[in-house]
Structure 1
Amino acid sequence: MSPNQAILARKNLDRRLATLQGEAVAVPPRGWLKGIREALGLSTRQLATRMGAAYSRISAMEKAEITGAITIKSMREAAEAMDCTFVYAIVPTTSLNDIVRRQATHKAEASLDRLHHTMRLENQAMEGEDLANERQRIIAELLAGPSRRLWDDK
């Protein structure tokens, strides 16, 4: 994916996720499966029948949800059996472009620290505005290139 395509993809995802950002989703204390099942008045046997599963599977699924061991497939199947839609999302805490820019800044700082250290040893250290300009140049270069480069440890 070209850098321009990546920027457009991030903007599109940001727009789609904007309604979810900052929303605190309060999980029912006993989990979504049990909470929805009980709110609908379904017994574990009734849900098992609707899912075409063994009665014991429902209790196991509800326990697995609480521990975080349930699969997405199981959540989707249970939701459909209760005439619900299972929603799964990873919602960034800020915009995707902000995350990418922060990573570029972090990587630029690390690169600049190494360069600055070497230049100081040679008594050629950059000062003030030159240092700030070089930082911005490295950030711009990183942002103009492939996004995958930003996440390499080197």
Structure 2
Amino acid sequence: MSVTRAKQRQAQERVNQAGSLAKSLAKPVGGWIATFQEAIGMNAPALAERLGISRNNIYAAIQNEQAGTISLNQMEKIAEAMGGRLVYAIIPREGPVEEIVMAQARTKARRIIQRTRAHMALEEQSEGLRSEAEMVEDLAADIIREGRRDFWQ
């Protein structure tokens, strides 16, 4: 296995692991800042003092988190001030990351197969070909096995 392929495998395993863990970590209704504050018993004035900012800035940060507009940098600073740490990840919506890769490889393979079949039909050479679905699956598997990354283009 090539170094590039090994690194890709490791990255896939890490993303899949994060995806599995994230299922139990849905964002709380009030957001993580407010939830963590509640869990440790720290009020907004105490948090503001630790950060050297006003209470209103803490309330704004909580609202920004709920709205999805807070920066990772700000979340990290707030987490550290409360004795926590920020953890974030990009994970697949559903299933393992390999399914995303295979779906894209199938899309690329389908385009290649359809183009090839069209040329063969024009030359009257399409007699006896396997089904398009079989050909797409085989070509997609070959694309992945070869470690090609051009299918994202």
d(CA) in 2 for partners of 1:46, 1:87:
23
> Could you say if the C-alpha distance between residues 27 and 126 of structure 1 is closer, same or farther in structure 2, counting changes exceeding 3 Å?
farther
What is the count of residue pairs matched by the alignment? 149
Instruction: Check whether the contact 2:5–2:147 (CA below 8 A) recurs between aligned residues.
Output: no
d(CA) in 2 for partners of 1:66, 1:57:
14
Q: Which amino acid counterpart does residue 55 of structure 2 have in structure 1?
A: Y
> Could you say if the C-alpha distance between residues 91 and 130 of structure 1 is closer, same or farther in structure 2, counting changes exceeding 3 Å?
closer
Instruction: Check whether the contact 2:44–2:55 (CA below 8 A) recurs between aligned residues.
Output: yes
2:37 aligned residue: 37
Deviation of the 1:33 alpha carbon: 0.5
Residue segments in structure 1 that go unaligned for 5+ positions in a row:
none
| 1:67 to 2:67 alignment | yes
d(CA) in 2 for partners of 1:107, 1:71:
36
1:6 aligned residue: 4
d(CA) in 1 for partners of 2:8, 2:49:
42
Deviation of the 1:137 alpha carbon: 4.3
d(CA) in 2 for partners of 1:136, 1:95:
20
Instruction: Check whether the contact 2:109–2:140 (CA below 8 A) recurs between aligned residues.
Output: yes
d(CA) in 2 for partners of 1:112, 1:8:
29
Q: Which amino acid counterpart does residue 146 of structure 2 have in structure 1?
A: A
Give the TM-score normalised by structure 1.
Answer: 0.80
2:114 aligned residue: 113
d(CA) in 2 for partners of 1:126, 1:4:
39
Deviation of the 1:122 alpha carbon: 3.0
Q: Which amino acid counterpart does residue 136 of structure 1 have in structure 2?
A: D
d(CA) in 1 for partners of 2:95, 2:104:
13
Instruction: Determine helix, strand or coil for the equivalent of 2:38.
Output: helix
1:55 aligned residue: 55
Where relative contact order (Cα < 8 A, 6+ residues apart) is larger, the structure is: 1
Deviation of the 1:24 alpha carbon: 3.8
Q: Which amino acid counterpart does residue 51 of structure 1 have in structure 2?
A: L
> Could you say if the C-alpha distance between residues 40 and 141 of structure 1 is closer, same or farther in structure 2, counting changes exceeding 3 Å?
closer
Q: Which amino acid counterpart does residue 101 of structure 2 have in structure 1?
A: V
Instruction: Check whether the contact 1:104–1:150 (CA below 8 A) recurs between aligned residues.
Output: yes
d(CA) in 1 for partners of 2:12, 2:136:
30
Residue segments in structure 2 that go unaligned for 5+ positions in a row:
none
Instruction: Determine helix, strand or coil for the equivalent of 2:19.
Output: coil
d(CA) in 1 for partners of 2:105, 2:77:
41
1:16 aligned residue: 14
Q: Determine what percentage of the aligned residue pairs are the same residue.
A: 27
Segment drifting more, 51-60 vs 19-28: 19-28
Q: Which amino acid counterpart does residue 140 of structure 1 have in structure 2?
A: D
